Structure formats: C-alpha cells, structure tokens
C-alpha cells in the first residue's frame, strides 16, 4: 500500500497529533464473554470514545500476526512488507543500542558444542544473565586485539546477546550461523549472494576467534542470526513534515521510534510518568507525539486477563491529564492484538478510535464489540498517519 501521495499533500498547520499505542490491546472473548477492554472500568475513555470514530485495524493484512517491529512500522506509516527491519537490528534496538550507520548487527545465542562441534544445546542451558555479562566482557577484551574486524558483543539476557560489527563495507546478505536444531554440526555463515562471500568469510574467521576465546565448558559456542543494518528509513520529518517525539518506556519502542527520526523523551517507569513526559514536552515545538503503553501486551502474553484489564484502567486514569493539553487529534489503538487466551501476538484486528473536533463521532464506548460498528470500519494500519494528518488539518486536498 503506497501512501506516498500523502507526502506531497502535507501542509503546515499549528496543530498537534497524539498517537497512543496500547501495545497488544486487541483481545478475543474469554469465558466471561468479554475482553479486557470490554470489562475494564474506563469512564474517561468511554467519554472520549463517544466523541470519536471507532473501527478495527489490520497491522499487515487479514490473517497476519505481526511482531513489534512490523506492527509499529505500519502505524508509523511505513509499509512493513517493504521496509523490513532485520532481526539483528530489532534485538539491538531492544537493548537500547543507538543504531550506528556503519554497523551490522546480529542476534546471538551462547550455545554448547561437543568436541566435534556438534550443537548439544542451542541455549547453553539458558545461563543466567550475570554469566552472560561476564562472558561478553571477556569476549570484548579479546576483540580489542582483533585487527580484522571492529566487533563488540552486548548482553541481552540469559543466553542471548547482540553482535555489532562496525564496517560500512560488510555485506549483510548472509544466512544464519545456526543449524536450528540440536545434534547437528555447527553451521558457519554462508552468503546469500556471491557478492557477500568475502563478508561471510570475514565473519566466520571472527567466529573462530571468539570460539577460541570463550573456551568455557558449557558455553563454548555462538550462534548468529538475522544479520542486518539500520534500514535507513526516511524520517517522519522528511515524509510528513512532522516534528516527532516518542513518549515510550521500553528500549524496543524507543528504538523503533528513533529509526524514523523521533526524538526520545525522558520518561519514568510508571503510567503517570507517561502523562508527565507528555505534558513536559507538549510545548517544546513537537507536533507529533508517539505515546506507548507496554504492559497491555506483557499481560496479554502472560494470559493475565485481570492484569491487562488493570493496565487499561490505569491508562484511563491519566486520560484527563492528556485531554487537558487539548491535542487536535488523539488516536488510540494497539500495534496488534495479544489475546489473553492465546498468550501471544495474534492476527485479530485491533480496536482503534480517533478523537478530534472534526471527527464523525459514533457515540459508542471503546470495545472490540463496538469497534465492529464504527465509522472507521476495518482499515490497514498504514492509514493511521494519513488519518491523523487529515484530522489535524495537515493534509491538503488531492487534485482540484
């Protein structure tokens, strides 16, 4: 879905856009016949919703379950089927690394190999994070003496780490160094295209160097997957003439926001801190605010209906602090559904509501059931930004 005409139609306007993502918001009906959103007590949200248009959103297209990366790209107005963010980059964003333009990133697992380099355990017994940190420290020391590549590893957690290689010539079109299953021989990297052969060779040498350096009994190998670079996306400013700021608490979402050129606000750890950060930054020249609530997704993944419902109720309590800022348009949705009964992301379309003074109001409260009936009907997430720009008076007419 090509929305590039939007870029030609964007015009200046003294208005402010607020896009609120309750991560994994959508749900399916539990035994009680209700979803967390339907059963939550949300007087402020209800009031706002009645003056809003409601609908349902497909992050990718019907049936596709998105990860956080594609889910957010879509609602930022970037087609996630075209703009692929590699796994290595996502893992790096997830631990808060600042993307370096010249870097290649890969996801790493510490693993266990036998004397013949047969993979015995792809996760090295899920070592504790502290052990991981010590091993990374050790590897980084020996990497300082390695002349052929400028590489560094970063702890994620348990057996997981990120490998960063600073080399703007390195070709990242590489297959994974991972046999995917245990009891198979260790697999070195292979190039996906002949042009990447030299890069594959270089990284395989680096792997051997690291393997020699680890030399632990249980942790004696590394698997590397998802080689990728910063996708080099055009920024929000370039595409939509917006000056964006991200009000987000978790590294992954801050990272995704930074990929499209958003400034990152300083935000404390609680729900109220999100509202505070929004208020603090409201009059600092930004006209687009990405506002991200993580825990709806976390509790969905845990299958914890009550906790997910509680997060929605906590969010409801900060709505007055948000509306008193008078955003010209407020959009509330999720990046995907995370139904409690499934304990995972899903393909179910996500409730959306758009509030502004010029919206076609549906006079319905915000719920999966009502969103079926709303004026927005069912749209693709890629249209959220055009709708936000439109409702805030930032889109000129197309044609005469």
User: d(Cα 6, Cα 131) in Å, to the nearest integer?
Assistant: 50
Tokens 């008076």 map to which residue?
393
At 215, list the tokens: 């030399």
In degrees, rounded to 5, the angle at the alpha carbon of residue 90 between the alpha carbons of residues 89 and 91 is 90
- Kindly state the smallest distance separating residue 113's Cβ from its own copies, in Å: 25
Q: How far is the CB of 7 from its own copies (least distance, A)?
A: 12
Which residue, 107 or 202, is less far from its own copies as judged by CB? 107
Contact 164, 224 (CB under 8 A): no
138 contacts 119 by C-beta, under 8 angstroms = no
Taking the complex as a whole, the smallest distance from the CB of residue 213 to its own copies amounts, in Å, to 28
If the CB atoms of residues 66 and 221 are measured against its own copies, the closer one turns out to be 66
Residue 66 CB, nearest approach to its own copies (Å):
5
C-beta closer to its own copies: residue 85 or 203: 85
**C-beta of 237: minimal distance to its own copies in Å?**
19
Element (H, E) at 1: none
List residues binding its own copies (CB under 8 A): 1-3, 5-6, 9, 28-29, 56, 60-71, 80-81, 84-85, 87, 90-91, 226, 339, 341-342, 345-349, 358-362, 368, 372-379, 383, 385-390, 395-400
How far is residue 158's CA from residue 363's CA, in Å, rounded to a whole number? 48
Residue 46 vs 273, nearer CB to its own copies: 46
- Between residues 69 and 244, which has the closer beta carbon with respect to its own copies? 69
Categorise residue 106: left if φ over 0, alpha if ψ from -120 to 50, beta otherwise. beta
Q: How far is the CB of 51 from its own copies (least distance, A)?
A: 10
Question: Which residue(s) pair with 26 in the sheet?
Answer: 337
Nearer to its own copies, 80 or 221 (CB): 80
Name the minimum Å distance from CB 348 to its own copies. 5
CB of 154 to its own copies, least distance (A): 17
Residue 29, helix vs strand vs coil: coil
| Size (the chain), residues | 400
The residue among 33 and 269 lying less far from its own copies, judged by its C-beta, is 33
Q: How far is the CB of 205 from its own copies (least distance, A)?
A: 28
CA dihedral 64, 66, 72, 76 (to 10 degrees): -20
Residue closest to 373 by CA, chosen among 87, 22, 3, 49: 49
Q: What is the DSSP string of 151-217?
A: EEEEEEETTEEEEEEE-TT----B--B--SSTTSB-----BSSGGGHHHHHHHHHHHHHHHHHH--S
Are 274 and 291 in contact by the 8 Å Cβ rule? The answer is yes
Cβ density class 251-262: b for 16+ within 10 Å, e for less: ebbbbbbbbbbb
Measure CA 285 to chain center.
Answer: 25
4 vs 116 by CB, closer to its own copies: 4
* Residue nearer to its own copies on the CB measure, 270 or 377: 377
To its own copies, the closest distance from the beta carbon of 171 in angstroms equals 22
Running DSSP on this structure, what letter comes out for residue 26?
A: B
Query: Would you say 327 or 339 has its CB closer to its own copies?
Result: 339
Q: How many CB atoms lie within 10 A of CB 81?
A: 13
**CA gap 126, 123 in Å, rounded:** 5
């Amino acid at each position: 879905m090509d929305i590039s005409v939007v870029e030609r139609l964007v015009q200046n306007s003294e208005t402010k856009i607020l896009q609120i993502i309750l991560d994994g918001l959508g749900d399916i009906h539990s035994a009680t016949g209700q979803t967390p959103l339907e059963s939550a007590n949300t007087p402020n949200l209800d009031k706002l919703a009645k003056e809003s248009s409601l609908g349902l959103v497909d992050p990718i297209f019907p049936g596709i379950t998105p990860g956080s990366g594609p889910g957010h790209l879509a609602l930022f107005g970037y087609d996630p089927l075209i703009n692929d963010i590699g796994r290595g980059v996502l893992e790096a964003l997830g631990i808060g690394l600042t993307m370096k333009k010249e870097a290649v990133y890969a996801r790493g697992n510490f693993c266990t190999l036998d004397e013949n380099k047969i993979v015995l355990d792809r996760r090295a017994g899920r070592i504790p994070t502290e052990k991981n940190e010590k091993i990374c420290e050790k590897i980084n020391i020996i990497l300082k003496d390695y002349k052929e590549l400028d590489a560094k590893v970063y702890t994620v957690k348990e057996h997981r780490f990120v490998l960063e290689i600073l080399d703007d010539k390195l070709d990242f079109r590489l297959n994974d160094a991972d046999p995917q299953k245990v009891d198979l021989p260790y697999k070195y990297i292979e190039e996906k295209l002949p042009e990447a052969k030299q890069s594959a060779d270089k990284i395989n040498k680096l792997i051997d160097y690291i393997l020699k350096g680890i030399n632990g009994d249980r942790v004696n190998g590394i698997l590397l997957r998802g080689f990728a670079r910063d996708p080099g996306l055009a920024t929000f400013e370039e595409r939509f003439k917006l000056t964006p700021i991200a009000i987000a608490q978790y590294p992954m979402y801050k990272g995704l926001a930074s990929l499209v050129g958003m400034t990152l606000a300083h935000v404390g750890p609680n729900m109220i801190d999100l509202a505070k950060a929004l208020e603090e930054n409201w009059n600092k020249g930004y006209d687009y605010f990405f506002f991200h609530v993580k825990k709806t997704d976390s509790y969905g993944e845990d299958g914890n209906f009550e906790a997910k419902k509680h997060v929605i109720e906590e969010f409801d309590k900060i709505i007055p602090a948000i509306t008193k800022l008078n955003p010209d348009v407020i959009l509330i949705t999720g990046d995907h559904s995370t139904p409690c009964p499934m304990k995972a992301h899903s393909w179910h379309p996500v409730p959306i509501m758009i509030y502004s003074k010029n919206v076609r109001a549906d006079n319905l409260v915000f719920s999966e059931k009502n969103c079926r009936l709303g004026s927005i009907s069912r749209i693709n997430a890629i249209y959220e930004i055009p709708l936000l720009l439109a409702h805030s008076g930032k889109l000129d007419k197309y044609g005469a």
